[in-house]
Amino acid sequence: MNIYQPAEDSYLLQKNLKKYLKNKYKSIKILDMGSGSGIQAQTCRELGFNNVLTTDINQKAVFHLKSLNFKAIQTNLFEKIPKQKFDLIIFNPPYLPDDKREPEDSKLATTGGKNGYEIILKFLKQAKKHLSNQSTILLLFSSLSKPEIIKRTAKKLNYKIKEIDSQKLFFEKIYILKFHL
Ligand SMILES: C[S@@+](CC[C@H](N)C(=O)[O-])C[C@H]1O[C@@H](n2cnc3c(N)ncnc32)[C@H](O)[C@@H]1O
């Protein structure tokens, strides 16, 4: 499997991550879920945040992240993440609905399931155990991921949600949302 190369979604999350990290303690614990190339983790590091755990389901990405000297775990969402709380969890997930025309090789990074939101919902359910009342999730998804279903499920899971940014692309709009317990 190839490593996902930073694209518009990565840059929109990166921009909001930089804003979020302004005035935060440098010692906060950060989990970068689905780190891929490591763009978000590198951003944290460049701003002086070194307590970052990177993860990916893709073994190639994990080797790459280790070569950049990040702590990296190969895992399907939180399966192999030790029991601990994070102050910040960032995730640019696979968020598109299944498209038979897309090559299997890139699907792992782009396709969130039949409807697009399946991995996101699993992530939000599993993330709760790793959050305190002060923690934040920065999550990206698309108008194609059925945002209303994601927001409704998140509310049922007792998350407070705030949309903080969006960007119009060719066939979709991408959003950044902040989640709190
Ligand atoms: C859209 S890419 C984002 C990569 C990078 N964070 C960025 O912003 O450019 C999604 C990443 O999530 C990883 N991924 C997909 N499913 C996953 C899962 N179930 N658990 C962990 N990582 C996953 C993919 O391998 C890919 O690296």
pLDDT for res 168: 98
CA 119 to ligand 1: nearest atom? 19
Residues 6+ apart with CB under 8 A from 170: none
pLDDT for res 14: 98
Distance 145 CA to ligand 1 centre (A): 15
Distance CA 119, CA 31 (A): 17
Band the pLDDT of 88: cuts 50, 70, 90.
very high
Distance 81 CA to ligand 1 centre (A): 15
Residue 142 has pLDDT above 90, yes or no: yes
In CATH, what is the architecture of 28-180?
A: 3-Layer(aba) Sandwich (3.40)
User: What is the spatial order of strands in the sheet that 52-56 belongs to?
Assistant: 71-74, 52-56, 30-33, 86-91, 131-142, 173-180, 160-168
Distance CA 77, CA 142 (A): 19
The residue whose CA has the least distance to atom 7 of ligand 1 is 10
pLDDT for res 105: 85
The residue whose CA has the least distance to atom 17 of ligand 1 is 57
Q: Read off the pLDDT of residues 52-77 as tens digits, 9 standing for 90 and up.
A: 999 999 999 999 999 999 999 999 99
Identify the three-state secondary structure at position 164: strand
Q: Read off the pLDDT of residues 145-154 as tens digits, 9 standing for 90 and up.
A: 999 999 999 9
Rounded to an integer, the average pLDDT of 32-40 is: 98
Residue 34 has pLDDT above 90, yes or no: yes
Question: So where are the chain's domains?
Answer: 28-180
Distance 33 CA to ligand 1 centre (A): 7
Query: Which run of H or of E encompasses 86?
Result: strand 86-91
Take residue 47 and report the two structure tokens written for it.
């701003």
Distance CA 93, CA 106 (A): 13
Q: Read off the pLDDT of residues 96-135 as tens digits, 9 standing for 90 and up.
A: 999 999 988 899 999 999 999 999 999 999 999 999 999 9
pLDDT for res 104: 86
The binding-site residues of ligand 1, defined as CB within 6 angstroms of any ligand atom, are: 4, 6, 9-10, 13, 33-37, 39-40, 55-58, 61, 76-77, 92-94, 108-109, 119
pLDDT for res 26: 98
pLDDT for res 115: 96
Residue 1 has pLDDT above 90, yes or no: no
